[in-house]
Chains A and B, each alone.
Chain A
Amino acid sequence: MEKELQHFNIEINGRIIQARSGQTIAATLIAAGITTFRQTFTHEPRGIFCGMGACFECLVTIDGISDQRACMTLAQPGMKVILNVESITP
């Protein structure tokens, strides 16, 4: 029996975003139109680059643990994700 696609909510900087089972945090963010995941210590905006866990650009804080790769982490119901940005675009 095929696994049904689950839809659930996660939080991005306090904002509720819909996610799907089997999607990474990165895919969830991009599907929601969010392409800037963090700012570097010199305030440069960064998003995903390699998409496969090698470049460590897509670092976000997940449930209190910092520097997690969004492209390697599955979205789970109720996850609280913090992007190190001044404001989320869009």
Chain B
Amino acid sequence: MNTKADVVIIGGGIIGASCAFFLSQKGLNIHLVERHFPASGTSRACDGLVLLLDKGPGAELALGKMSLGLWNQLDEMLDADFGFERAGTIMLAEEDAQQKAGQEKAEMIKQSGQRAELLDSQALQGLEPELAPDLAGGVLFPDDLQVDPRRATLAMLASAQKKGVTVHTDSEVLDIKREPQGYQRICAVVTQKAEISTPTVICAAGVWSKQVVQMVGIDLPIKPRKGHILVAAKRPGFIKHPLLEGGYVSTVQSAADDLQVAFVAETTRTGTILLGSSRQFVGDDRTVSLNVIQAIASRASRFLPRLGNTQIIRSYAGLRPWSPDHLPLIGPVQSVPGLYLATGHEGAGIGLAPVTGKLVSDWITDAVESELAAAFHPDRFFKT
């Protein structure tokens, strides 16, 4: 099949879906190509937390805040239930040094205009009676959100499709063609089912973006960073907020190869409790590792001792797309006219999906470089 598009989005995860959603508001002819089915990759293996506490100060925090605002808007705009909750989150401190770090984090968040409330040990126990009693305290971030990543992906995609976006599934990109002359702008995307003529491509293929942009000679410094999640049987109300241990942020920021485990817990809409988290660089292996789930279970038991008798009914592993400065790549690639990247979100893809889609769609239609966007410009890795 041969067809034409103004923009082709490669990747049907939450980032691609968000790009499709925002672009669909601009009246362009958009096609999205997904090699398996929507939310079949990393978007299906995430927890659903939309956080600010894991963002560094400055541009990253601003990006996170903007995305939080957009998620709140999406709750109105999307005609679907995607598990949206104003859940808030609590970052825990095991001892005083962590409590102090939590205080600094709270200050940073408050300065950006979001709420943060310090909790001493007693206040923490009052809010979350199932937590181990020996914690020093924590910080409550009441404005943090929770979504169901799969439903959110499908909801954004459905909305985009209603506005005319064409979604191709079971369509792996085999080639990206460029004009032979001049600036060699992109001119087509080839899958096993179709050839789509287009001057503009957004690569939103997560950890697989590397293979995709290799087709146009780009060496993307993205590495897969494996994570695991355990699912505990339904205990609605056992915890009242999503919980993260204080050390979570340092595992996110770390570039170490070896296993990093940090406690995260989140109750889903059905009442099951997701338990994480783990980070490792082990290539693109997605099998669930027994050692890792043991470590996650052990850490979870430390913080929620009375959850010990609850059955673990499932586990899964996914690959986060990690970039060397731990910031996403959002925007054009100067050396390949027509190519835009929307990838590299390591551990923050769900939260940052709306702002990514919005920024990319602004790039494409207005070709304006916003101040915020400059920090995430892909060319920071490619400029010669």
Interface set of A (CB-CB < 8 Å, partner B): 41, 64-67
Tell whether, in the assembled complex, residue A41 and residue B233 are in contact, meaning their CB atoms are under 8 Å apart: no
SS of A interface (majority): strand
Tell whether, in the assembled complex, residue B309 and residue A65 are in contact, meaning their CB atoms are under 8 Å apart: yes
A41, B268: Cα distance in complex, Å: 14
Query: Can you pick out 12 interface pairs between chain A and chain B where the beta carbons lie within 8 Å of each other?
Result: A41-B234, A41-B270, A41-B271, A64-B309, A65-B309, A66-B233, A66-B309, A66-B310, A66-B311, A67-B233, A67-B310, A67-B311
A15, B44: Cα distance in complex, Å: 45
Please encode chain B, from 271 to 291, with 1 for each CB lying within 8 Å of some chain A CB and 0 for all others. 100000000000000000000
A41, B270: Cα distance in complex, Å: 9
On chain A, the residues within 8 Å of B271 by CB distance are 41
On chain B, the residues within 8 Å of A64 by CB distance are 309
How many chain-B residues does the 8 Å CB contact rule pick out? 7
Interface set of B (CB-CB < 8 Å, partner A): 233-234, 270-271, 309-311
A66, B235: Cα distance in complex, Å: 10
On chain B, the residues within 8 Å of A65 by CB distance are 309
A30, B376: Cα distance in complex, Å: 65
User: What are the 10 A-B residue pairs with the smallest beta carbon separation, nearest first?
Assistant: A65-B309, A67-B311, A67-B233, A64-B309, A66-B309, A66-B310, A41-B234, A41-B271, A66-B233, A66-B311
A68's nearest neighbour on chain B, judged by CB, is: B311
B309's nearest neighbour on chain A, judged by CB, is: A65
B311's nearest neighbour on chain A, judged by CB, is: A67
A41-B234, A41-B270, A66-B309 provided; 9 other pairs, C-beta below 8 A? A41-B271, A64-B309, A65-B309, A66-B233, A66-B310, A66-B311, A67-B233, A67-B310, A67-B311
Q: Please give the distance in Å from A66's CB to the nearest CB on chain B.
A: 6
A10, B273: Cα distance in complex, Å: 32
B234's nearest neighbour on chain A, judged by CB, is: A41
A45, B379: Cα distance in complex, Å: 60
Q: Please give the distance in Å from A73's CB to the nearest CB on chain B.
A: 14
B270's nearest neighbour on chain A, judged by CB, is: A41
On chain B, the residues within 8 Å of A41 by CB distance are 234, 270-271
A64, B311: Cα distance in complex, Å: 12
Q: Please give the distance in Å from B307's CB to the nearest CB on chain A.
A: 11
Q: Please give the distance in Å from B12's CB to the nearest CB on chain A.
A: 31
Looking at B233, B234, B309, which has the most chain A CB atoms within 10 Å of its CB? B309
On chain A, the residues within 8 Å of B311 by CB distance are 66-67
A67, B231: Cα distance in complex, Å: 14
A64, B306: Cα distance in complex, Å: 11
Q: Please give the distance in Å from A43's CB to the nearest CB on chain B.
A: 14
A64, B308: Cα distance in complex, Å: 11
B236's nearest neighbour on chain A, judged by CB, is: A41
On chain B, the residues within 8 Å of A66 by CB distance are 233, 309-311
A73, B271: Cα distance in complex, Å: 26
A65, B234: Cα distance in complex, Å: 13
A66, B234: Cα distance in complex, Å: 10
On chain A, the residues within 8 Å of B270 by CB distance are 41
Q: Please give the distance in Å from B10's CB to the nearest CB on chain A.
A: 40
On chain A, the residues within 8 Å of B233 by CB distance are 66-67
